[in-house]
Amino acid sequence: MSTSSPMLTPDHVEDAMSRGLAWLADVQEGDGDIPVFACRRRDLSGRRHLDSSPFNAAHILEGVRACGGPEAGAIAAGLEAYLWREASPGGTWSYFARKTGRKIDDDLDDTSCCAALLRGGERDRDLASNRELILANRDEHGRFKTWLRPPEARNDVDSVVNANVLWYLGDHEGTRAAAAWLCELVRSGAEAPTVLYYENRLTLYFALARALAGGASGLAPVRAPILDRLERVELGALDAVELAFCCRAAQDLDGPAELRARLLEALLGRQAADGSFPAAPVWNGPEHPAPRSVWWAGEPLTIGLALGCLAAARGR
């Protein structure tokens, strides 16, 4: 990683990563979970309550695992065990953890992200049947529906959910229509109305870049327009989560070195002395089309996203 900035030297990146991991290790619970919080106000100024979700744990796990080393391995092992305990028969997941006492239908977003991170291990056979369930959950246009429900039940189509399905399934005859739809959304700049459960299109760019880097080559046409838009993002207007999404998208799309460095430096500038990164809204609810009235956030989630960027930068 070559740069003249003192914030981007290998030693500084390693130190930032180590401090982030130490923060997560301190808050990880005995069951392996690392809770975040939910808030009824988007600016997070209202009452917050701790919340447990496989979806949040999966995104923390992704960043932690990328760091490597004994400390990251210990945190990751706890998170992996937690995710497996939350799995439904057939290798699917829902948003709320069982210990919350809340029930919600299993969905393709949780399922795809959890399965993408857990596949290839000793329990890979436990995921064998979920691909069939996912592929059966498409609309008449070949796009993936969010909720695992009977065909006649209410459902919706979210572009980020579709990108996450492609991260898991990759190139497949059953994903081509969804890939074409996503490429057209980005080409035409029509993404915003299709981002239902996330804050803005930056999350979609992150998810598309991750899926493309993971082997969903049908998404290749999104690379140029996303990088062009990332070049024009006003960094000072972004929160730490948005910066992490932009940074990781630029990395996964192998964007220009100057752009990657600029985004990483801005992200590192948000890290606190204790190793944390500030909480910011990441996803929201309730189920569409009800008005947004709850937002999920938390320092652990931002740290997990930032660690993925730091680990990717270290590997260059």
> What are the structure tokens assigned to 61, written together?
């796990």
- Taking 3-state DSSP, the helix, strand and coil percentages for the chain, each rounded to the nearest 5, stand at 55, 5, 35
Distance CA 82, CA 271 (A): 27
For the entire predicted model, the pTM comes to: 0.96
In tens, the pLDDT along 31-63 reads 999 999 999 999 999 899 999 999 999 999 999
Give residue 2's pLDDT.
Answer: 45
SS3 label, residue 123: coil
Give residue 316's pLDDT.
Answer: 63
* pLDDT less than 70: residues of the chain: 1-4, 6, 316
**CB 303 within 8 Å of CB 24:** yes
